[in-house]
Amino acid sequence: MTPSVRDGASLVGRTEEGRRFAPPADLAAAANVTAAAYEQADADRLGFWAEQARRLTWATEPAETLDWSNPPFARWFADGELNVAYNCVDRHVEAGHGDRIALYFEGEPGDSRAISYAELKDEVSRAANALTELGVTQGDRVAVYLPMIPEAVVAMLACARIGAPHSVIFGGFSADAVASRIADADAKLVITADGGYRRGKPSALKPVVDAAVARTPQVERVLVVRRTGQDVAWDDTRDVWWQEIVGRQSAAHTPEPFGAEHPLFILYTSGTTGKPKGILHTSGGYLTQTGYTHHAVFDLKPETDVYWCTADIGWITGHSYIVYGPLANGATQVLYEGTPDTPHRGRFWEIVQKYGVTLLYTAPTAVRTFMKWGDDIPARFDLSSLRVLGSVGEPINPEAWVWYREHIGAGRAPVVDTWWQTETGAMMISPLPGVTVTKPGSAQVPLPGIAATVVDDEAREVPAGSDGYLVLTEPWPSMLRTVWGDDQRYLDTYWSRFPGRYFAGDGARKDEDGDIRLLGRVDDVMLVSGHNISTAEVESALVSHPEVAEAAVVGAADATTGQAVVAFVILRGSAEDGGRAGAGGPGLDAELRDHVGRTLGPIAKPRRILTVPELPKTRSGKIMRRLLRDIAENRELGDVTTLTDSSVMDLIRSGLPAAP
């Protein structure tokens, strides 16, 4: 990165909230993981992971930890054998915890179900028997396209139980996206539902699968969960009701052990360009690291904690921190089907209060939305059970981090900002709640057993106080093994930019203490007059202004400066309550520009500030800067199919003044 960023003291460090938060004494005293874990892992990294692997139950204990003889193709615990579903379900029942609740399901319309580990074991066994009856065998791929209902968890575990890798496709994707994923993975069976509930209405899923399957001849059968009871088209030779076939199976099923490197699942990353990448994860290493990190970062006490991850099962966060990590640890957790504002904007807090949730895992975009809705909403609920608050998915700006701690965590619960990716499979950089003195908006330290650093363009480690690229310098147990069917793409995408090191695609700063602060995707770094300015940094500065609720910043092409900073802002106090939203005006624009100038330095001042009612987001909550760039550069809009709501773009455009 250019030295100007480092040199310009005005640019560096000013958005960083100066406050530090030590772990609560009671949490630290009883923490699952202490500072000793870092020492142990530093002294013997592989020995450390071998010990974490022993948290699992193996049919054959692995003698070998890592085989790195053909880098970057890793094999972890390769001579060990285990059954992932047995580890997530049966062993807890065998240990006498069959009555413990595994899932508190909360449907959007208000229906609820509590499912114990014993019941989950029976249901997973029946589903495994049903898959076998439908001709699915070890190694076959199964596509899963379901809402956030218990059957989604059961379906994934049933696949794992019989060694059939699943490919979960987010329930909001279109028929095109479903068809291309089915075809790429060559799936022979699809598990779906008639529909799910979203924003107070049944929303159909099966018609999407019908359209996709019409184009994917490899699909032999479609298994359909009845959730909403809505009408569906039916093909007698192909479709079968889940309740019918699973319901009549025996609850006895012997889980067969598979090699630790047996494929567990494929998950497609929402590609920014081109064909989506099928990220391949395998069994033993993946379960070791998801289980360990969930135990360490959430400090899970399975007997007393109630954990809730608000992600969708269709994303990696749902795979690793709803299904595999928590269940491997015998956690009790909430599974919520719907949206945070249905039927009212306090729904999340009502759920926390109802179940006494102690550990919450959500995304910065959700936190900022709650900020925007107002402090008074969470204040109406009893959130005193909460003791650890997790964040994942994008850099969390210090403002939102502090709000989360204050208004959700009563100024007491530690915030753990967890950096990781679909590709890493599990958390990589995060504070430990009983150890780390946290800094607002920073993921800070690689977890024990993880090696990460920040390098410059020439792959040299940057000194403290500098920006560069985040790289992972040693293999880790839950790393992707390849891109499904495309080893070359695996090499090119992740291992060619810095030979011998994994390139994450994220910009990062090594702060004065040597801690890592994530700056957003490298493609989100703007280059203005030769200065690297991260979009996240300017967004953070804007959001620290009392009038701004949310901001998205893009670099628009500029003939003289290379790129110019263009900011899209949502003002605080929504239109409904007669706030300044939508008003903006030259006075405020100048004020915001000055505010950014004061916070970050004049170079970071936005050239244009556009006040908008909404921001375009992908279904996983990431701001689609590409579309904002299209607007900022007065172009036709590109592909909007991955947006949650494509009308957002019309809304944004219609309210804007003509471009200068």
Q: Which residues are annotated as a binding site?
A: 198-201, 317, 393-395, 417-422, 506, 521, 529, 543, 545, 548
Q: What are phi and psi of 649, to 5 degrees?
A: -65, -40
Cβ nearer to ligand WTA, comparing 207 with 276 = 276
Smallest gap from residue 422 Cβ to ligand WTA (A): 3
**Is position 605 an interface residue for ligand WTA (rule: CB under 6 A)?**
no
Q: What are phi and psi of 650, to 5 degrees?
A: -65, -40
Alpha carbons within 13 angstroms on the beta-carbon side of residue 73 total 10
Question: Can you count the helices (H) and strands (E) in the chain?
Answer: 23, 30
Name the segment binding ligand WTA (CB under 6 A); options: 105-113, 200-208, 387-395, 537-545.
387-395
Residue 563 in contact with residue 535, Cβ under 8 Å?
no
**The tokens of 364 are what?**
């910065």
Q: Which is nearer to ligand WTA, 77 or 420 (CB)?
A: 420
- By CB under 6 A, the residues from 229 to 288 that bind ligand WTA are 269
Q: Hey, is 374 helix, strand or coil?
A: coil
Size of site (CB under 6 A) for ligand WTA = 22
Query: Binder to ligand WTA among 260, 316, 542, 648 (CB under 6 A)?
Result: 316
Pick the closer one to ligand WTA by CB: 284 or 395. 395
Closest approach of ligand WTA to the CB of residue 419, in Å = 4
CB of 45 to ligand WTA, least distance (A): 23
Q: How many CA atoms lie within 13 A of 367 on its CB side?
A: 30
Report the distance separating Cα 609 and Cα 349, nearest Å: 34
Contact range with ligand WTA by CB under 6 A, out of 19-27, 257-265, 413-421, 527-535? 413-421
In whole angstroms, how close is the CB of 495 to ligand WTA at the nearest point?
Answer: 16
- Choosing from 11, 159, 504, 610, the residue that interacts with ligand WTA (CB under 6 A) is 504
Q: Residues 72, 80, 291, 395: which binds ligand WTA (CB under 6 A)?
A: 395
Extract the tokens encoding 427. 């958390």
Strand blocks (E) in 213-298: 221-225, 239-241, 258-259, 263-269, 277-282
Q: Which positions make up the binding site for ATP? A: 393-395, 417-422, 506, 521
Q: Which residues are annotated as a binding site for CoA?
A: 198-201, 317, 529
The reply on whether position 472 binds ligand WTA by CB under 6 A is no
Q: Among residue numbers 515 through 574, which ones bind ligand WTA (CB under 6 A)?
A: 518, 521
Tell me which amino acid residue 446 is: P
**What's the rounded Cα separation, in Å, for the pair 71 and 65?**
15
| Closer Cβ to ligand WTA, 65 or 391, answer by number | 391
Q: What does the per-residue mask of binding to ligand WTA show for 616-655, with x meaning CB under 6 A?
A: ----x-----------------------------------
String of contacts with ligand WTA for each residue 128-157, x by CB under 6 A:
------------------------------
> Pick from 187, 245, 244: which is nearest to 213 by CA?
187
DSSP secondary structure code for residue 604 in this structure: G
Q: Which listed residue (184, 194, 506, 515) binds ligand WTA by CB under 6 A?
A: 506
- Between 184 and 506, CB nearer to ligand WTA: 506
Closest separation in Å from C-beta 318 to ligand WTA: 10
Q: Decide whether 140 or 550 has the Cβ nearer to ligand WTA.
A: 550
Q: Compute CA 74 distance to the chain's CA centroid, rounded to the nearest angstrom.
A: 23
Question: Near ligand WTA by CB under 6 A, which window of 13-21, 302-310, 314-322, 399-407?
Answer: 314-322
Among 98, 163, 195, 505, binds ligand WTA (CB under 6 A): 505
In whole angstroms, the minimum distance from the beta carbon of 520 to ligand WTA comes to: 6
Out of 147, 284, 285, 393, the only residue in the binding site for ligand WTA (CB under 6 A) is 393
Among 392, 432, 516, 624, binds ligand WTA (CB under 6 A): 392
Which one, 538 or 592, has the nearer CB to ligand WTA?
538
Pick the stretch among 62-70, 312-320, 347-355, 477-485 that binds ligand WTA (CB under 6 A).
312-320
Residues near 44 by Cβ (< 8 Å), separated by ≥ 6?
A: none
317 binds ligand WTA (CB under 6 A): yes
Radius of gyration of the chain (CA): 24
Toward ligand WTA, which CB reaches closer, 242 or 370?
A: 370
Q: Residue 456 in contact with residue 3, Cβ under 8 Å? A: no
| DSSP β-bridge partners for residue 453 | 471
Spacing of C-alpha 279 from chain mean position: 14
Q: Do 68 and 498 contact (CB within 8 A), yes or no?
A: no
- Does residue 319 bind ligand WTA (CB under 6 A)? no
Measure the CA–CA gap between 288 and 265, rounded to whole angstroms.
Answer: 15
Look at residue 268 and give its three-state secondary structure. strand
User: What is the full DSSP assignment across 476-526?
Assistant: -TT---EETT-HHHHIIIIITTTTTSEEEEEEEEE-TTS-EEEEEEGGGEE
Q: One symbol per residue from 415 to 444: x for binding ligand WTA (CB under 6 A), - otherwise; what is it? A: --xxxxxx--------------------x-
Phi, psi of 221 (to 5 degrees): -135, 150
* Nearest distance, CB of residue 484 and ligand WTA, angstroms: 15
- 247/234 Cα distance (integer angstroms): 19
Contact 49, 449 (CB under 8 A): yes
Q: What's the rounded Cα separation, in Å, for the pair 572 and 124? A: 46
- The binding site for Mg(2+) comprises 543, 545, 548
Nearer to ligand WTA, 66 or 627 (CB): 627
CB of 285 to ligand WTA, least distance (A): 17
Decide whether 122 or 537 has the Cβ nearer to ligand WTA. Answer: 537
Taking the least distance from each CB to ligand WTA, the nearer of 478 and 563 is 478
Residue 196 found at the interface with ligand WTA (CB under 6 A): no
- Strand pairing of 359-362 and 307-309? parallel
Residue 218 near residue 181, CB atoms below 8 Å: no
Of 126 and 521, the one with the shorter C-beta distance to ligand WTA is: 521
**343 preceded by a cis bond (ω within 30 of 0):** yes
User: Tokens 């987001």 belong to which residue?
Assistant: 617
In DSSP terms, 192 is beta-bridged to: 145, 224
Which residues make up the interface to ligand WTA (CB under 6 A)? 269, 315-317, 391-395, 417-422, 443, 504-506, 518, 521, 620
